[in-house]
Structure 1
Amino acid sequence: MLAPRSLFVGDDPGVAAVLDTGMLEIFFSGMTAFLHAAALVTSAGHTASSFVPMAVEMVDILPATFRGLAADVDAGEYPGTEDSIGMEAAALGHMVSSTEEAGVDARLPRLLHDLATRAVDEGYGADGWSRVFDLLRAGAASS
């Protein structure tokens, strides 16, 4: 079977291309995040294979997380009721320093930390991570 399912997304072929690009972004970002984490954990003597169960556990929470983020984005509301970007900025800062200390390329966690600190600097530290959507939509012009 070439395609397990077909989904009609409208008459504009550009829409299908954008959706495909979005799906590829999720796929390649997820693989790269796993490989980055594997580089980190193997630097401490673990194997990538032994880390897989923990990685899968994190992946398992993503569907519900995606639904929550999408609801926030669609509503244009970014509640920080469960956690806040300010809190996450601290955790991401730890990720950057831990990665650097391990001698692993820190660009990926640094990108995430930079998004969080930018949000805090723009006055959104009490908002939830979904606020990052606005920063991403604003593009590089505002960074």
Structure 2
Amino acid sequence: MLSATSSPASEALSHSASVSVLGLGMMGSALAAAFLRAGHRVTVWNRTAAKSGPLVAQGALPADSPAAAIAASDLTVLCLLTNDQVQEVLDGVGAGIEGRTIANLTNGTPASARELSAQVEQRGATFLDGGIMAVPQMISGPHAYVFYSGDERAFATHRPTLAALGDTRYVGTDPGLAALYDIALLTGMYGMIVGVMQAFALARTENIPAGELSELLVPWIGAMLASVPEEARAIDADRHLTDVSSLTVNHAAIPNFLSAFRDQGVHPMFLEPLQEVLDQGLKAGHGADGLSRLATLFVR
């Protein structure tokens, strides 16, 4: 489904365009700075006007209102804290977005992206939703990329400008798809981080240094990640039988984890829900299946 990828920020150097950035938190400021480095004419706005100072010093043009910022460019990038704030900004501008392209790079849900898209289109503008797969320090670097979904023509038109932020990955005309990809990848990240933090918490109960445990965790987790493509193939084929570790085996093991956590005074919140899902899997007759079966059990 991924299509129309570009090379990173180097592609944008050969294009000059005007772009407005609304929202100058850590990520929004990084986006605006990347557009400036790529040679674009950048207009910025933030609710707290003082945050625009460093970017103005780099050549950005300050706007005194969202309406003025949107009017200054064909493309406006929004990077606010929540989509409720995006909604508030767009409601304040009203019909002032007509003829413009709104690219919302605020973290949100597929449903909110679809709702915003419908409202923007009703006001005579085009809409792109985006999911940023980078931290601010990575923006415009070789490993940064952004998922985009929504109006395909708008994406094609503004892709050279958006390439200043990193690789561009268009995932479809449904405006909710970028948020779905974003949340799916972040879910994997959070699962890993929470699991690692729970491991550190358990080790601390016996005064095992986190640095010592990390030297063991990194290669262990890396080895386990090597199985992800195989799990994906099992899910796509809906064939989950395994000769590695079945649901029955894991179902028998998880109570030991829960008991160990409780005995050591660590909350077992990370694995308690897994026990419930494994219970469900065995009741449904999937005991011989591997852990790839969880992908189907998580769906209500």
Whether TM exceeds 0.5 here: the answer is yes
2:255 is matched with 93
Gaps of 5+ in 1: none
Question: Match of 2:277, SS?
Answer: helix
Alignment equivalent of 1:42, drawn from 199, 204, 216: 204
Corresponding letter in the other structure for 2:293: R
Instruction: Give the residue type in structure 1 aligned to 2:216.
Output: M
Work out whether 1:52 is the aligned partner of 2:189.
no
Distance across 1 between alignment mates of 2:231 and 2:274: 16
Unaligned regions of 5+ residues in structure 2, if any? 1-137, 145-166
The offset of 1:118, in angstroms, is 1.9
| TM superposition shift of 1:11 | 2.6
1:71-126 Cα shifts (integer Å, max 9, x gaps): 11100111122221101112211111111111101111112222222211221111
> What is the rounded CA distance, in whole Å, between the counterparts of 2:169 and 2:285 in structure 1?
40
Higher relative contact order (CA 8 A, sep 6+): 1
Contact 1:96 1:113 in 2 (8 A): no
Is the contact between residue 89 and residue 117 of structure 1 (CA under 8 Å) also seen in structure 2?
Answer: yes
Distance 1:57 1:110 in 2: 26
What does 1:52-131 align with in structure 2 at a 5 Å threshold?
52-131=214-293
The percent identity for this pair of structures is 25
Matched residues in 2 for 1:121 and 1:58: separation?
A: 31
Out of 168, 174, 184, the position equivalent to 1:12 is 174
Equivalent position SS for 1:6: strand
Q: Is the 8 A contact 1:38 1:48 kept in 2?
A: yes
Matched, 1:25 2:162: no
The 3-state SS of whatever aligns with 1:61 is helix
Distance, in Å, in 2 between the alignment partners of 1:131 and 1:13 is 29
Letter in 1 for 2:217: A
- CA distance in 2 between counterparts of 1:56 and 1:68 reads 20
**What amino acid does structure 2 have at the position aligned with 1:2?**
I
Shift of 1:16: 0.9
Please report the TM-score for the alignment, with normalisation by the length of structure 2.
0.44
Of structures 1 and 2, the larger Rg is shown by 2
More helix by share: 1
TM, length-normalised to structure 1: 0.88
Q: How many residues align?
A: 138
In structure 2, what is the Cα distance between the partners aligned to 1:84 and 1:102?
27
Distance 1:9 1:48 in 2: 39
For the aligned residue pairs, the C-alpha RMSD in angstroms reads 1.5
Answer with 91-100 or 111-120: which moved more: 111-120
Q: Are residues 1:2 and 2:135 paired? A: no
